[in-house]
């Protein structure tokens, strides 16, 4: 896994693939913009719709993907630099973008290469912001937000699955375009990682409004009822 990451990192910093300097300049420009009213926005504590729109418009949500015809793509070294620059200006947005970058590699690690490439291409094309997480729902990270939620389950339906259950997430409950989550198959008991649309009618979202610090990350709980 580490070898693959290093190979992609060196390839992603090639100037022909977009250029390290370009991404850093874009990140710094956005950081300067966010810094202007970061304190006022944090005090207001509203869902970060405007902030996420700024991230999308900057192109930074698509930075950590393989270089391609669209000219996007950089490596982890540059991605970490981007997150640091954004976090200095706005800690909540730095956290949200960092989580997005980590989850953006999920398909590359877990899916078949062809399917992973298809998902990454669609994520760039549609400017997805990813949120979610895999692993035990009761981790220290979300326990302070309240009930981490019941386990998620998958029930076979036609050619796919239906997701049910509840999960508390530390970021982007209202603003994410897709959630990356782990769930257990009812029929076999094994765990799968799934990509879910949080805006499906069967997904109910409840933001956490009294979080101490990092309020603009958009933490909250999502309840799934037969979501495909």
User: For the chain, which residues make up each domain, given as ranges?
Assistant: 2-128, 131-227
Whether 2-128 shares its CATH topology with 131-227 is answered: no
Q: What is the pLDDT of residue 212?
A: 67
Mean pLDDT for each consecutive 10-residue tract of the chain (228 residues)?
37 46 94 95 89 95 73 83 97 96 93 92 93 68 51 92 94 96 92 95 88 80 96
80 within 8 A of 94, measured Cβ to Cβ = no
pTM for this entry = 0.85
Beta-carbon count within 10 A of 122 CB: 11
Per-residue buried b or exposed e for 176-194, using 16+ beta carbons within 10 Å of the residue's own CB:
bbbbbbbbeeeeeeeeeeb
Compute the C-alpha angle 27/129/134, nearest 5°.
115
Tell me the CATH number for domain 2-128: 1.10.540.10
Look at residue 146 in the predicted model and tell me its pLDDT. Answer: 52
pLDDT at residue 3 in the model: 36
Query: In this predicted structure, what is the pLDDT of residue 69?
Result: 43
Question: Shortest CA distance to 208 belongs to which of 179, 168, 176?
Answer: 168
Q: What is the CATH number of domain 131-227?
A: 2.40.110.10
């Amino acid at each position: 896994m580490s070898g693959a990451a290093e190979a992609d990192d060196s390839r992603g910093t090639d100037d022909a693939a977009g250029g390290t300097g370009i991404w850093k300049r874009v990140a710094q420009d956005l950081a300067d913009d966010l810094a202007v009213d970061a304190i006022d926005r944090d005090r207001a504590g509203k869902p970060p719709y405007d902030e996420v729109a700024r991230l999308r418009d900057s192109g930074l949500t698509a930075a950590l993907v393989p270089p391609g015809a669209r000219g996007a793509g950089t490596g982890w070294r540059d991605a970490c630099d981007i997150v640091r620059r954004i976090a200095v200006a706005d800690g909540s947005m730095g956290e949200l973008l960092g989580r997005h970058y980590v989850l953006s590699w999920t398909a590359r690690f877990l899916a078949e290469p062809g399917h992973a490439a298809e998902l990454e291409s669609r994520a760039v094309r549609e400017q997805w912001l990813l949120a979610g997480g895999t692993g035990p729902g009761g981790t220290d990270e979300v326990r302070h937000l309240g009930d981490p939620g019941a386990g998620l389950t998958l029930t076979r339906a036609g050619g796919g699955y239906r997701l049910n259950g509840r999960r508390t997430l530390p970021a982007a409950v209202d603003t994410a375009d897709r959630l990356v989550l782990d769930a257990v198959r009812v029929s076999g008991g094994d765990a799968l990682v799934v990509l879910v649309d949080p805006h499906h009618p069967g997904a109910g979202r409840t933001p956490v409004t009294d979080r101490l610090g990092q309020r603009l990350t958009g933490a909250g709980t999502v309840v799934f009822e037969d979501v495909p």
